[in-house]
């Protein structure tokens, strides 16, 4: 399957990234290379861009797509390790960094990856299929308390305890193997009256939760944001696109802390902790996609872009 998708908030990213000729950039979630290609084009083809992705299909597709740009370097890995990966690649301090979080359209549309609740397929959900446990293995081995916490905390699902209990009951009769096995468990757990009133698919929150747990998407995110900020040169910008409130809260909180890291008592007459602002938050908060984009690409509706600029004075 061809690994291509329409990059979300593309014009907004280019505007706030402030791409310049000869700049150095990192796309920590390379995907099909759409954002990276736009950044390289905006630089007149003179930028150096390091694209990181843990999905082998993404690396392959983006490398083919961007083969005409001599400044492009693909790196197989996780953006959580971007600081080490960029150092190993010999990258200079960055003028800009981009993270487009969550699962990409090609991953959703490729049934065999197991991300979609619309098609029956093996329950995998790993972004890097060379390592880690699959969604099926997680569902078949985690105890009821752990499953409840995962579905509640990562899916913000109010029926989490009931879904976890049904999962544990179902797997005693037949281990979970496919996406529809999980869909049927969720259907059995959530009352029909509730499912009828749900605007979206009733399994979407559980699938999100399991995917986040399988790929460990949230726990390392804050440190990864700080690491990428460390990689920026003064004046460099970090742009982060999120698709659900869990990610967005982490990004918002992290940027706020980097902008105002002082831990002195609020009524203290002077700052004595010595912690200086690292970034300035730009764009007045979150940038949403335009009405035209959401109409053209419905998957962009929940997207938010947050931007911060590295200050001249560092901690």
- pLDDT (tens digit, 0 to 9) for every residue of the chain, 315 residues total? 455 667 999 999 999 999 999 999 999 999 999 999 999 999 999 999 999 999 999 999 999 999 999 999 999 999 999 999 999 999 999 999 999 997 777 777 788 899 999 999 999 999 998 889 999 999 999 999 999 999 999 999 999 999 999 999 999 999 999 999 999 999 999 998 888 888 789 999 999 999 999 999 999 999 999 999 999 999 999 999 999 999 999 999 999 999 999 888 888 888 888 889 999 999 998 999 999 999 999 889 999 999 999 998 644
Extract the tokens encoding 72.
């492009």
Q: How far apart are CA 182 and CA 82, in angstroms?
A: 33
Number of residues that make up the chain: 315
φ, ψ at 191 (rounded to 5°):
-55, 145
Nearest Cα to 232, choosing from 97, 45, 74?
97
Helix (H) or strand (E) holding 100: strand 94-100
Q: How far apart are CA 86 and CA 107, in angstroms?
A: 25
Residue 9 Rama label (left phi>0; alpha psi -120 to 50; beta): left
Q: How far apart are CA 23 and CA 301, in angstroms?
A: 31
Domains parsed from the chain with CATH numbers: 10-102+220-310 (3.40.50.150), 111-215 (1.10.150.170)
Q: How far apart are CA 169 and CA 174, in angstroms?
A: 9
Contacts (Cβ under 8 Å, ≥6 apart) of 290: none
> Across the chain, how many H-helices and E-strands are there?
14, 7
User: Is 94 in contact with 118 (CB distance < 8 Å)?
Assistant: no
Extract the tokens encoding 201.
């698919």
Question: DSSP label at 122?
Answer: B
């Amino acid at each position: 399957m061809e690994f291509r998708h329409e990059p979300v908030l593309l014009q907004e990213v280019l505007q706030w990234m402030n791409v310049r000729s000869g700049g150095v950039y990192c796309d920590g979630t390379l995907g099909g290379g759409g954002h990276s290609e736009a950044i390289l084009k905006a630089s007149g083809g003179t930028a150096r861009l390091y694209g990181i992705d843990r999905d082998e299909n993404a690396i392959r597709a983006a490398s083919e797509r961007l083969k005409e740009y001599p400044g492009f370097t693909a790196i197989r890995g996780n953006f959580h390790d971007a600081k080490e990966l960029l150092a190993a690649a010999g990258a200079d301090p960055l003028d800009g960094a981009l993270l487009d979080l969550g699962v990409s359209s090609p991953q959703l549309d490729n049934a065999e990856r197991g991300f979609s609740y619309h098609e029956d397929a093996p329950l995998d959900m790993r972004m890097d299929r060379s390592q880690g446990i699959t969604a099926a293995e997680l569902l078949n081995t985690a105890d009821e308390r752990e499953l409840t916490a995962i579905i509640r905390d990562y899916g913000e699902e109010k029926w989490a305890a009931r879904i976890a209990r049904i999962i544990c009951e179902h797997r005693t009769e037949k281990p979970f193997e496919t996406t529809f096995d999980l869909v049927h468990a969720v259907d059995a757990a959530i009352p029909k009256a509730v499912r009828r009133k749900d605007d979206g698919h009733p399994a979407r929150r559980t699938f999100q939760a399991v995917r986040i747990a399988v790929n460990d998407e949230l726990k390392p995110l804050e440190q990864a944001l700080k690491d990428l900020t460390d990689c920026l040169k003064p004046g460099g910008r970090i742009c982060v696109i999120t698709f659900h409130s869990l990610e967005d809260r982490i990004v918002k909180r992290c940027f706020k802390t980097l902008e105002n890291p002082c831990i002195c008592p609020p009524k203290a007459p002077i700052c004595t902790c010595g912690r200086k602002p690292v970034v300035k938050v730009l764009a007045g908060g979150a940038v949403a996609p335009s009405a035209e984009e959401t109409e053209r690409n419905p998957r962009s509706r929940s997207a938010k872009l947050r931007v911060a600029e590295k200050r001249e004075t560092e901690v």
